[in-house]
Structure 1
Amino acid sequence: MPVSSANNTQHFDTIIIGAGAAGLMAASKIGQSGLSVLLLDHASKIGEKIRIAGGGFCNFTNTHIDGFDASSYYVSENPKFVRYALSNYTAEDFISLVKKYQIPFTEKHRGQLFCDRVQKASSKDIIEMLLKECQLGQVNLKKETTVEAITKTASHFSINSSLGCFTCNHLIIATGGLAIPKIGATDFGYQVAKQFGHTIIPTRPALVALHFDFWEQEGFTELAGISLPVEISTNFSKKPKDRITFDEDLLFRHKGLSGPGVLQISSYWVPGKTITINFAPKVDIQTALITLKTEVKYHLERAISELVPAIPKRFIQFWLNRAPFCEYLATPLPEIPHKILEQLGSSLNAWTISPNGTDGHKTAEATRGGVNTKELNTKTMESKLTENLYFIGEVVDIVGWLGGYNFQWAWGSAVCAANAIQEKDPHLSK
């Protein structure tokens, strides 16, 4: 239980700022160990990012994380920082918690686990589960609370807030990144980190749609709504083995490109660099067209449609109406010069384009950059610069792939901090 001093300041073993995924998990674990916990959040609704995740069905983890080094699924100046947290608290551990609360779930794609809409489960069930876990730990949760100042003495932290002053032995910052400010995202966590001497890896939107300056001028708005499977790659390295590639769906929009493939590559894309899209990953179109040229008298539209059935007809028609292909729309395949077929194949198998920006933080699903991991203990999330100060979740320079990886980082990093605080407390029996 919290302790009140003569000046009516309440003291807690641990104060956590930020009641999102990481904050709720840390609070529940620490509270259930017998320590007093105060969980503060400036929002009126708790866990909004959990609520909207996965279209309201919360992609809460990914089973591909378990069993090996999962750092390849994360973007950071130091991606291997995630290894201990993700092996210490696994996807299976969180799944066990979900099963304990009898929340139905399903695997949709490549290890991605969602609440099962068929059985009427949703993101709200995950939020309720975490809140119940906090209740079991008698966590003192305060919403709509603004933190005005944080100071530290030799023995404790003092938190001045809109509800008054609180003190604690341990302080956890779980305030997230800059993604989706309309549900409360701010740079508060970065400001706290800077206050205590930490460096911030420059932030930018991640898992976000891309824009292109030629889009309207060249009529690509006509393709809005078309979705198709592609292979999408970065081009920031001249060595093919160092390029990042995803086999995912792509979605054409009025303003540019989105869909899982684009969201994934956006976390790696470097402004000023190009990306390459292969609309027919399993077909060498150039070679296939030249071979087909000796066998049939098709026109180009039929030839492409039969070679790559996954490409929508509307897309093929648009592509072939662009120069120089438009000059050969009515020309039988055998009469089309090799050079044109080679150019068409190259444009469909390796369309290289340069994004000029993104949708920004307003629609990004995560934030790249954050508190420098070199200044944190990989096993405890504790600051190497300030004793008993911890940073967990998205505020750290860790962003995962689309598909439950960011939630698992939130759970794993939270448990690391919770375990470390329990280990330090002399009042708990070991």
Structure 2
Amino acid sequence: MLDLFTGRTSDCSGVSRRTFLRVGGLSVFGLGLPEYLRLRAAAPQTPARAKRCILLWMQGGPSHIDTFDPKPDAPVEIRGEFGTVPTTLPGVRYAEPLPMLAQRAHKLVTIRGHDPQNGSHGVADHLMMTGHKFNPSLPFPCYGSVVAKERGYVNGMLPFVQIGRYIDRRFNGGIGGFLGDQYNPFEVPDDPNSPAFRVRDLSLSSEAERQRLDRRYSMLADLENYQRRVERNEAVLARDEFYAKAHGIITSPLAKRAFDLTQEPAKVRDRYGRNYLGQACLLARRLIEAGVQFVTVTDGGWDTHTNNFRSLRERLLPRVDQGMSALLDDLEARGLLDETLIVWFGDFGRTPKVNPSAGRDHWSTAGVALFAGGGLRVGQVVGATNALAEYVIDNPVTPQDLAATIYTVLGINLHTWYRTPDGRPIELCPEGKPIRQIL
């Protein structure tokens, strides 16, 4: 492939001059952009290590020091109130409220070298879920949306589901972006731990509701057909196809069963934890078994400016410890762990020094992330922060690198090119590098 190196200056689209000339310069040799994109599409794909992915998103920014990168030898105003527990990896310790995950550290990749490169809510949701910096003129698609476009529908199931609404959408986090609304997630906003849990549009309790749904769909189809005849554009065609598939899924017994947690034995539900996050993890497992390609489980409350330790000890960490450890064990027992990538992270890290309100504030130069499953070389710690957890001193991993790793494990070529609605070519992941030691 031709590269015309001219430096790394980017324009307002976020596309570097180097990337632009890699494409534009081809026309000098008679290869135009359409032909180039067709060749790209026909190129051999990256072999997939995993068939599906579960992303556990902790909105607000989990403290790296109080979770998977504790500093027991630091001054008390840094190390905080928690002690540490040994893991199954020699010399590696986690914070004491995480005993179950500590006993499963050999099943995890603990990324202590994570450099979030941002400390602001909203833009963090966009950056961490796309591997691209926020650009007000160009919303990038999140991982689940890219997977939905590349993989499509399997077993007639939704390709991308989001559990909970703990994503900041002010800066286009967690959506289909320029790929279009048809690649947005199907959202499950209600608490799966609630006895009244009901998935919108899937829980048709009577024949009358079913008939009303069919009438609404028929009216919508008539409107879409008219608009398609008048406009004849790709967006209308895509939206029409999306509605047709969505109607089929809504009326599918398979989808209804997949979302029905009452099908699970009580002891399984207890193992995951009778709380929102635990039951959301169990629901995610049921969905990927049914054919969903990408599930984002969102959890809120991690913006711990005040009462950091009480919030972590009493609510946040026990739920993660129980729910994620149960998910690992359950997938492994079912023979699904090697083909399911599990990722855990949030907005950014939190300040090493505890503030006067017993909290920790936003921190942009150090954080933590976890990987599991997906055929990865687990049982590793990647990178390190300095003695006070202020910044990365070994093997830094950026959000772009996390994106490159996720796509590589899922078999999606990092150099896939898409067209925006106005015709601009955009490369999927031009900046990130996969974490090679775990692949």
TM-score, structure 2 normalization: 0.25
| Greater per-residue strand proportion | 1
The structure, 1 or 2, with the larger RCO (C-alpha pairs under 8 Å, 6+ apart) is 2
**TM-score under structure 1 length normalisation:** 0.26
